[in-house]
């Protein structure tokens, strides 16, 4: 009994400004390509069942092109695997804020896909001796959560859930997608399930031998550099999906080739350096890339650069590199300021982003807002403003 586990395709996402010759956002096209390749891989593997653990689309109202593309891919799955159940749950990105709005995901029921949008669904497939509990995002944020326990006498008990398992993801929480529903390990009850297919976290991650995040199929999060760091920490490189053998209790990673290189260059330390030297170091870093920066997504951090030095950098040359790359993030950061005189003991003075974070951490909030996410987003916005002021 083999199960294909995919999650977080985020079809329709748009990033950066470049378009394909046909007028589609380039990253939207990259993401569509990744999903098509994943479907190719699933069809070739011929699993007994397929689950998609949320965020099929990047938004509640995807474009007609994204809807049509997704429909064709699920149609391919259904025609190639006519007897395999296909289960799709709604993630936070494709869940409407209002229950009256309706969900585009129900369209796929026309293809025989079992879809869970608002409430958890218990699905039985007697021919496979398989039961599936499909838990969408909305069910986890409802006033009364469903009981996350199997029901019935099926041999293979699978749960498909889109949410954040509390306490098992990296402590650097900026790499975790905003808006996920928190689920405790005890509530999850991993030990009573044959397999738990998780979605929401974009880096492939083993929660337990029988519980996995398959990760996204492309780099679509707000902090892809953090995703790269998480992958390196866990010894993983790149995106893909999972093939779980429920009888042998094995999970096999199925990679999806990236559309283009995503590169986080070694940083430049600019303390005490003038603009001429910094310009040379920046150009050396970028020129050292095999094939240059053309069509790549690249970040280069430059630390300890005062504002007046940042303003004197060769911005014409930088703009030329940015035009060549699909996206070049030249992240110029000012030095930390330390207070040595004035009231109180000497020490490090808080930066403006830190002051904002402190304020947001203590101000009153509506009960429905997650404070940690609220503070994180505010801090990221202030960091971006600081970098803009520095000429980045």
CATH superfamily of domain region 2-256: Metallo-dependent phosphatases (3.60.21.10)
What's the confidence (pLDDT) of residue 199?
96
Torsion of CA 227, 232, 238, 244, to 10 degrees: -100
Residue 208 β-bridge partners: 211
What's the confidence (pLDDT) of residue 389?
55
Task: Quickly list DSSP for 334-377.
Answer: PPPPEE-SSSSS-EEPPPHHHHHHHHHHHS---TTS-HHHHHHH
> Cβ distance 163 to 197 under 8 Å?
no
What's the confidence (pLDDT) of residue 203?
93
Distance CA 294, CA 261 (A): 10
Domain parsing of the chain, residue ranges: 2-256, 261-335, 341-392
Residue 2 β-bridge partners: 245
Written as six digits, the tokens of 95 are 């869940």
Q: What are the residue ranges in the chain where pLDDT is below 70?
A: 98-101, 170-178, 337-351, 364-369, 386-392
Helices (H), 46-110: 64-80
Helices (H), the chain: 26-45, 64-80, 137-141, 185-188, 224-233, 275-287, 307-311, 315-324, 352-362, 371-389
What's the confidence (pLDDT) of residue 339?
53
Count Cβ atoms below 10 Å from residue 211 Cβ, excluding itself.
22
Reported as a single tens digit per residue, the pLDDT across 43-77 is 999 999 999 999 999 999 999 999 999 999 999 99
Reported as a single tens digit per residue, the pLDDT across 170-229 is 655 456 666 778 898 899 999 999 999 999 999 999 999 999 999 999 999 888 898 998
What's the confidence (pLDDT) of residue 52?
98
């Amino acid at each position: 009994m083999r199960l294909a586990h995919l999650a977080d395709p985020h079809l329709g996402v748009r990033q950066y400004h470049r378009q394909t010759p046909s007028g589609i956002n380039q990253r939207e096209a990259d993401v569509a390509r990744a999903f098509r390749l994943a479907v190719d891989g699933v069809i070739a593997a011929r699993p007994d069942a397929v689950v998609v653990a949320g965020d099929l689309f990047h938004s509640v109202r995807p474009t007609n092109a994204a809807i049509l593309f997704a429909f064709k891919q699920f149609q391919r799955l259904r025609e190639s695997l006519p007897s395999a159940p296909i289960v799709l749950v709604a993630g936070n990105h494709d869940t409407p804020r209002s229950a009256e709005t309706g969900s585009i995901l129900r369209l796929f029921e026309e293809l025989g896909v079992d879809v869970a949008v608002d409430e958890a669904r218990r699905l039985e497939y007697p021919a496979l001796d398989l039961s599936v509990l499909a838990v969408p995002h909305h069910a986890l944020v409802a006033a009364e959560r469903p009981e996350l326990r199997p029901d019935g006498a099926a041999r293979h008990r699978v749960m498909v859930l889109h949410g954040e398992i509390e306490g098992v993801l990296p402590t650097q929480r900026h790499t975790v997608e905003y808006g996920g529903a928190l689920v405790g390990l005890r509530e999850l009850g991993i030990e009573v399930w044959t397999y738990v297919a998780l979605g929401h976290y974009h880096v492939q991650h083993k929660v337990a031998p029988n519980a996995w995040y398959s990760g996204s199929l492309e780099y679509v999060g707000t902090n892809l550099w953090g995703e790269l760091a998480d992958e390196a920490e866990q010894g993983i490189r790149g995106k893909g999906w999972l093939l779980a053998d429920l009888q042998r209790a094995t999970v096999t990673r199925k990679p999806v080739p990236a559309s283009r290189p995503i590169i986080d260059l070694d940083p430049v330390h600019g303390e005490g350096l003038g603009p001429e030297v910094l310009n040379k170091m920046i150009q050396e870093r970028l020129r050292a890339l095999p094939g240059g920066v053309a069509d790549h997504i690249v970040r280069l951090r430059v630390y300890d650069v005062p504002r007046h030095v940042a303003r004197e950098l060769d911005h014409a040359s930088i703009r030329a590199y940015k035009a060549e790359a699909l996206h070049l993030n030249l992240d110029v950061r000012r030095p930390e300021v330390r207070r040595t005189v004035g009231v109180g003991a000497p020490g490090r003075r808080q930066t403006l982003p830190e002051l904002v974070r402190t304020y947001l951490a203590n101000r009153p909030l509506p009960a429905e807002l997650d404070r940690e996410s609220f503070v994180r987003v505010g801090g990221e916005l202030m960091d971006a403003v600081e970098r803009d002021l520095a000429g980045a």
